[in-house]
A and B are shown apart, each in its own frame.
Chain A
């Protein structure tokens, strides 16, 4: 096996914010004032001029951000490497550097063979051109020669399943046909290295199955190298042999794909599904004090992975300091977009509470097969006498649920919505 990609000390720096003064007018004004020895008129008062040479280095640095910092890795021929990380971790930047859309700030990348990327399928498709014309145009944009496209043409059309409409302008295509055609062209590129970014988010289940099969085929049978970026951990697991986790532009883990996915789903510091206060609690008033709060798989440890097909429990421990008040907990469960999914409360407990002072554990149970997979956030409301919310803490907890094992070839994308309850369904022969 030989190396086909070698990435050495690659970093990419971006300038933050809008580049406001960079209009011709701004630059001319600055220049003209400099000539006359006047202060820069475009300068915001109280701020150091980042463009003047005397400005301090540290101030200057603040305007820049490292999207990638000192990335080093190698990829062997025929390997399917998964690149995982949250939004903003630098995955797309890395792929952009590899596909030569933008240049790195430092370091260098060496590549053997042709790279083609499916960064976004359908690049350069023109709505007025027919399917046939777009296959040729798109193929050429992606770097195929005329002969290559001609040889692959029938295969592409068949793969996309648009044979009937091949001489119709693509603006008349359904969005599904459009995407299938676009993917088909890219999938038949036959580059030595293929970069795949989230293509599995498109198309129906059958097409996804085809697409995954194609990528597998490309790497296993044809010995091509694939770099695969996805948020879909089950797709990553089933396709890749090795993985890299990026976090805030730094490569934090590299290794076997199982270990990689496990580490990614669990070892995320930003997600806290358990909080304990010892001594100095922050959430309290004269009536109560919050000691501990957490979400976990039922009967499991807080650090264990939670899956959608197991029951989940919420636990809070409260020190009740006032014997005359009923203290309840209401939770607002939110998805990772911040949309509130539902609210649930201990106020439904219908017995008359023991209102004596002391420590109480409040427990809420969520059934298995209720949530969809993904990240969830919890807003906490401490409710007094089932009437007034005295304390509100947003995003006090967050937790991640991973998907259950999915049979390969079935729908691997995420279903819409934050919950995916399993209701009772049945089907039987209908007799008239």
Chain B
């Protein structure tokens, strides 16, 4: 191209591999770049797993012990003392299946919610797509989920052998989809939180108690059928509820499998994830200046 003012040729044939500019487009999300960093995701997953249990005596056994202890407590308190219905299903099975699915969602949410603050040190020194961190967290939480699912199946086999009729239904192939939906929902909420906590530190204090309260408006320790009409709205607007319900329905036949409400969860997840990624993308450019 001829540059009129100076009469010289601008070398326009130069190809730049990278342009660093003040503001990126809101939707400029480089998924291909994240894919190129898939090896790093794998290593982060491995690191999280190794680091978490390296110097504990029981190691990954904690993945099993945690839900076992919770199940025991809930059986004692909610089924034993409070007498909340479990729709005729052995309370241990009912609670364990609820806990396993809920705790995966909670692990994704909690783990990704502090992405920026926890990684400030490393983010401050090198560049890699920041989404690699939260993605690796939902995957490493999947390891935990896998072990807990094994525990759940051994419970099911035990109850099956001791005479209780376990009705595994044809919806079983929905399980991976439900898990992915739980993961993405947790990721969506988590990255929104992580972006907001760089500015509002108060939120990280709120999150701990918030997740706990959230569990009680989700049909984890009770079937949604026992919820009184005036409180039903909490279950209906809660995007986690249909997923946990469906998860229980598929494995132990409790609760309901409602396509309409599942669709609501899916749509909710897609919108949430979209908002989350946009917000995350905006934050990642400049958060080092304010953190």
Bound-complex Cα distance A325 to B14 (A): 76
A137 CB within 8 Å of chain B: yes
A140 at the interface (CB under 8 A from B): yes
Query: Which of A2, A108, A128, A142 is within 8 Å of B54, CB to CB?
Result: A128
- A101-B124, A103-B285 known, 10 other contacts, Cβ within 8 Å: A2-B14, A15-B290, A100-B127, A102-B288, A104-B21, A110-B18, A111-B20, A112-B16, A112-B17, A115-B18
A424 contacts the other chain (Cβ, under 8 Å)?
no
- Which interface class (under 10, 10 to 19, 20 to 34, 35 or more) fits A? 35 or more
Q: Are A141 and B17 in contact (CB under 8 A)?
A: no
Whole-angstrom CA separation of A108 from B23 in the bound complex = 10
Q: Which of A14, A123, A146 contacts B289 (CB 8 A)?
A: A14
A38 at interface, CB cutoff 8 A: no
* Residue pair B54, A106 in contact (C-beta under 8 Å): no
Instruction: Select which of A25, A100, A119 is within 8 A of B202 by beta carbon.
Output: A25
A204 within 8 A of B: no
Given contact pairs A96-B288, A146-B39, A101 touches B123 in the complex (Cβ within 8 A): yes
CA distance A99 to B21 in the complex (A): 12
User: A residues 310-357 with Cβ under 8 Å of B?
Assistant: none
Cβ–Cβ contact A107 & B125, under 8 A: no
Given contacts A101-B288, A106-B22, A137-B43, contact A128 B50 (CB under 8 A): yes
- A100 partner residues in chain B, CB cutoff 8 A: 20, 127
> Are B43 and A140 within 8 A (Cβ)?
yes
CA distance A103 to B19 in the complex (A): 11
**Digit string of A15-47 for contact with B (CB within 8 Å is 1, else 0)?**
100010011110100000000000000000000
A24 in contact with B202 (CB, 8 Å): yes
- Nearest residue in B to A136 (C-beta to C-beta)? B43
List B contacts of A105 (CB < 8 A).
Answer: 22
Check A22/B200 contact, CB under 8 A, given A103-B285, A137-B43: yes
- A203 interfacial by beta-carbon distance below 8 Å: no
Within 8 A of A (CB), among B231-287: 285-286
Cross-chain contact A104 with B22 (CB below 8 angstroms)? yes
> In chain B between 116 and 134, which residues have their CB closer than 8 angstroms to a CB of chain A?
121-128
A128 to B59, CA, bound (A): 14
Instruction: Indicate if the CB atoms of A123 and B122 lie closer than 8 Å.
Output: yes
Report the bound CA distance from A19 to B286 in whole Å. 14
Q: Is A199 an interface residue when CB atoms closer than 8 A count as contact?
A: no
CB distance from B40 to the nearest CB of A (A): 4
Task: Give Cα A376 to B96, complex, Å.
Answer: 70
- When the two chains form the complex, which single residue of B39, B55, B124, B285 contacts A145, counting CB atoms closer than 8 Å? B39
Sorted nearest first, the 10 A-B pairs with minimum C-beta distance are A100-B127, A24-B200, A109-B20, A110-B16, A140-B40, A103-B285, A111-B18, A123-B125, A102-B288, A128-B54
Say yes or no: is B201 at the interface (Cβ < 8 Å to chain A). yes
Bound-state CA distance A128–B126 (Å) is: 21
**Of B39, B54, B202, which is within 8 A of A23 by CB?**
B202
**Nearest residue, chain B, Cβ from A123:** B125
A270 to B201, CA, bound (A): 40
Q: Which residue of A lies closest to B16 (CB)?
A: A110
B22 touches A107 (CB 8 A): yes
Measured in the bound complex, the distance between the Cα atoms of B14 and A103 in whole Å is: 23
Which residues of chain B have C-beta atoms less than 8 A from A110's C-beta? 16, 18-20
CA distance A143 to B37 in the complex (A): 8
For B127, give the chain A residue with the smallest CB separation. A100
Q: Shortest distance in angstroms between A211's beta carbon and chain B's nearest beta carbon?
A: 18
Q: Is the CB of B199 within 8 A of A22?
A: yes
**A3: CB under 8 A from chain B?**
yes
- A111→B151 CA distance, assembly (Å): 52
What are the residues of chain B within 8 A of A274 when measuring CB–CB?
none
A–B Cβ pairs within 8 angstroms, 21 of them: A3-B14, A23-B200, A24-B203, A25-B202, A101-B123, A101-B125, A101-B126, A102-B285, A103-B285, A104-B21, A104-B22, A106-B22, A111-B19, A117-B126, A119-B125, A124-B126, A128-B50, A129-B47, A129-B50, A136-B43, A143-B126
